[in-house]
A and B are shown apart, each in its own frame.
Chain A
Amino acid sequence: MTGRHLITDAQNTWCPGCGNFSIQHTLKNVLTDLEQEGEDLDQIVLVSGIGCHAKIADYLDINSFYSIHGRAIPVASGIKLANRDLKVICCVGDGDAYAEGLDHLIFAAKRNIDITVIVHNNRVYGLTTGQYTPTSPHGFKGKSTPMGTLEYPLNPLELMLASGGTYIARGYTQKRDQLKSLIRGAIDHKGFAFVDVLQICATFFNMTSQYNPRVYPLQEYDRSDAGIACEKVREWDYNSDAPIALGLFYQRSALTFDEQFRHQSLHGKERQILIEEFLATRQ
């Protein structure tokens, strides 16, 4: 299918000013570019979890698997394993990927399976109306923690670096050009690609005034140097007032999980013969 509209008729229900618009727009532009470069958009699959972010599965007119809370990544992994020609993109939330489904995120990175994970990190549970997430700052007053959280946030980039991710980046919904190149780079990367997107939640956690003065683009360095990447990743711990670097922190090429499976599915008759041959060994 070519020259298609890419946006469905579904009514958009994100709040005005929501950072999800920016991510959707960026992803749509990336897809348009891909199509113009001759890529067949029928080969793209979007997988989402559950949360405000996940509505993107309804809004983008491409193949999609709107899964359940926290579980987009194993679904995406299965899709890639079944058909390596597909480009599989996960749009997940921070509650989704860093709380409910954290195990899957770590294991996907560990396996270096060739999928792209875009985390809509608004640092709050949007859809369930404002509770803290694993990346909310210490003392965050949400509906489940009215006196403020007692926990410190985790640093997802550091976690991904430790887990074996081969493309680790951070973007910001108000830096669209950079976000576009980071997402495009992630899709083009062969292996597990991870983009944490600092996303404004207009209703429950609007961080615009905190982010804008602190964000800066990462300078040049050898992106395959895990030591430097680690240092850069640790500069801001999702809690302090430190400057917030944006860009690609780390990238290396490595064998992917999916490319190591090479099974050709067999036909009914072939299967029957193999079963009979096997049974003969047990006679």
Chain B
Amino acid sequence: MAQDVSVLVGGKAGDGINSAGAVVAQLLNSVGYHTCTYYEYPSLIRGGHNFAIIRGADHPVDVHRNMVDYVIALNMDTISLHSGRFHEKTVTVFNSDVVKAPGQGISVSAALTSENAPAIMGNSALIGAFASSAGIPWDTVSEVFNRHIPKGADINLRVARKGYDQVTAVHPINRIGDRRFSLISGNEAIALGLIHGGLSAYVSYPMTPSSSLLHFLAEHADRFGITVIHPENEIAVILMALGISYAGGRPAIGTSGGGFCLMTEGLSLAGMAEIPLVIVVSQRTGPSTGLPTFTGQSDLHFILHAGQGEFPRFVVAPGTAREAYAWSAVAMDIAGHYQVPAIILADKTLSEGTFSLDPVQLPEVPFRGPVLWDGSNTYHRYADNGSVVSHQAFPGTRGAVVKVNSYAHDETGITTEEAAIVAQMTRKRMRKAAHLAEAMEAYDTVITDGPVHAGTMLVCWGSVQGACTEAAHELGLRAVRPVVLSPFPEIRLKQALEGARRLISVEENATGQLAALLRLHGITVDTMVLQYDGRPLTPEMLVERLKEAGV
């Protein structure tokens, strides 16, 4: 029988639900499970309800499920707000100081008092209780605490032991293997991918759900030899990054929709001046400030069309942490090689969720590298010599005068309004789109899953793939997903969808933005399943929605 367990941890903001969720995920990791963790929290610092759902399985998982097998309740809301997630065998451990419920209660205050421990260690008592109820050996608990709670592991462990000893095993989680994955968030996967791709500087202004990317890179700047800057606003962010890139650095920037709005003039400058730049945009629920800490997929068209004028751009929407890692490295390379803006489009579910990455089998990324001036001939930044891109040189290079320009310019980079030159330079820039599309043939730009002959097919993009893939499995459907959205992989997608009698798009927006894009490429979507309340689709929710749609 397939092993598949889900654990809910809930409490109020400030209760440390994130770190409790991370420890539970590590407990499952240490007994051989693939894990994924979904965090949900309101946009405030104290109070309000926070929860995490940690899922562990004997196969890779990218999405949490509605129903849970274990509940760790730090407060009463965790029981009352989530009762719909419980089944008859759900095991509940809770803080009996504040929660009255069936299940096994332990007094957190008593555990803390007896060990003379500070209040912030209270969660350890409940984690200990959970581990015991799930039959996880004490040695494993002790090892996980020592590895992942380096500060005060001893006293935390004593508190955990109090919880552990008061609870009996109800529903054991069996060890299914010895191998451990690396648990990282989607934003961390992006960060590591950028580093792998040659990142030298990261510039960003805080905005959920991109902020954890800034925090991670700032914390590890020394380790990875990168410069991390948080300037005055997103306009400065993109312009600074363009300055860095012009001077020979390899920058990336990150934001969410609102910040990206401020960047669009700079984006167009990158397109016109042909300056490499990687931009991470993690979507949240819009429009405007929207739901800052919830998810959405409503910026696809904005990202595809942002910026005045026409210029080629690369847009990729990874659906898993592994893809986020690989494609972030690819985006760095594509931006550098083709001298175009490369956008990594993520969302809150992917950015802030935690996933199991196999550190032994990191994806291979082929690198093309930048096309550099070899020092022969007079240097012209925008030389149109028949090659795919003009050769790059950076200021400070002996013998090269490097002129870049936001105005229409000639080959030397000097402003021009000459009709013939304007047309020629436009063709030179736009030509890169065709070359980029051709280069994309070497990559997995479209992901397919499920039977080829399924009459009904699901099509989706980004993190919603987790729910789509599982729902498709359950209902015997085929799931198809473009990962690269610009240049749009039209031919591959059409091949993947061949034979479909009914095509259903599944998206976390209110208008069906992928469906509209498909229509533009001559692919007709028959039905749209749309989700726009900020909550990600789960497999169960999607199965129900598909059944309602007559599948």
> What is A's interface to B at a CB cutoff of 8 Å?
1, 8-10, 40, 42-43, 45, 47, 50, 55, 57-58, 61-68, 71, 74-83, 85-86, 103-104, 106-107, 261, 263-266, 268, 270-272, 274-276, 278-280, 282-283
9 additional A-B pairs beyond A68-B239, A263-B227, beta carbons within 8 Å, are A63-B395, A79-B244, A79-B246, A79-B395, A81-B243, A82-B244, A107-B231, A272-B196, A280-B182
Contacts of B229 in A (CB 8 A): 81
Residues of chain B with a CB closer than 8 A to A76's CB: 243
Interface residues of B in 398-452 (CB under 8 A from A): 398-407, 409, 412-415
A266 in contact with B225 (CB, 8 Å): yes
Given A1-B399, A77-B240, A107-B232, answer yes or no on A271-B196 (Cβ-Cβ < 8 Å).
Answer: yes
Task: Point out the residues of chain A lying under 8 angstroms from B249, CB to CB.
Answer: 78, 81-83
Residue of A nearest to B184 (CB): A282
A263 to chain B, nearest CB (A): 5
| Cβ 8 A contact of B242, one of A78, A104, A106, A272 | A78
Q: Does B9 contact A (CB under 8 A)?
A: no
Interface assignment of B226: CB less than 8 Å from any CB of chain A = yes
Q: Let me know if A42 and B359 touch, CB within 8 A.
A: no
- A74: chain B residues within 8 A (beta carbon): 231, 235-236, 239-240, 243
Contact partners of B394 in chain A: CB under 8 A: 83
- A8→B402 CA distance, assembly (Å): 13
A14–B269 alpha-carbon span in the complex (Å): 24
Docked-complex contact B247 and A86, CB < 8 angstroms: yes
Chain A residues near B224 (CB-CB < 8 A): 266, 271, 274
Contact A104 B395 (CB under 8 A): no
Q: How far is the CA of A241 from the CA of B458 in the complex (A)?
A: 74
Task: List 27 A-B residue pairs with CB atoms under 8 Å apart, sorted by A's residue number.
Answer: A10-B414, A10-B415, A42-B401, A45-B247, A55-B415, A58-B415, A61-B401, A63-B401, A65-B403, A66-B403, A66-B404, A67-B406, A74-B235, A75-B246, A78-B244, A78-B249, A79-B246, A82-B247, A83-B395, A83-B396, A86-B395, A104-B235, A271-B224, A280-B359, A282-B182, A282-B184, A283-B182
A40 CB to nearest B CB, Å: 8
* A contact residues around B138 at 8 Å (CB): none
Structural contact, A263 and B221, CB atoms closer than 8 A = yes
User: Which B residues contact A (CB, under 8 angstroms)?
Assistant: 29, 147, 180-184, 192, 195-196, 198, 200-201, 203, 220-227, 229, 231-233, 235-236, 239-249, 251, 265-266, 269, 273, 357, 359, 362, 367, 394-407, 409, 412-415
Decide: A278 and B220 in contact? CB cutoff 8 A. yes
Contact indicator A82/B248 (Cβ below 8 Å):
yes
B415–A71 touching, CB < 8 Å? no
Q: In the complex, are the beta carbons of A279 and B200 less than 8 A apart?
A: no
Report the minimum CB–CB distance from A211 to chain B (whole Å).
30
Least CB distance from A72 to B in Å reads 8
How far is the CB of A164 from the nearest CB of chain B, in Å? 13
